[in-house]
Copies of this chain bind each other. A is one copy, B any other.
Amino acid sequence: MARWEGNTRARLERAALDLFAEQGYDRTTVAQIAKRAGLTERSFYRWFPDKREVLFGGEELEQCFVAAIEAAPEGADPLTMLMAAFAKAPEVIRPREFLRERSAVIAANPPLLERELIKLSTLSEALTAALERRGIEPRTARLATDAGLAILRQTGRRWMSDENADHTQLLADSAADLLAVLTANTPNASTNGNGRRS
A residues with CB within 8 A of B: 74-80, 113-114, 117-118, 121, 135-137, 139-140, 142-144, 146-147, 149-150, 153-154, 157-158, 174-175, 177-179, 181-184, 186-191, 196-197
Contact = CB atoms under 8 A, between A and B. Distances in A.
A135 B137 CA distance: 37
Closest 3 CB pairs of A and B: A146-B150, A75-B190, A77-B189
The copy count of this chain in the complex is 2
Contact of A135 (B74, B154, B197): B197
Nearest to A188: B136
Contact of A186 (B140, B179, B197): B140
A195 to B, nearest CB: 8
A118 B113 CA distance: 9
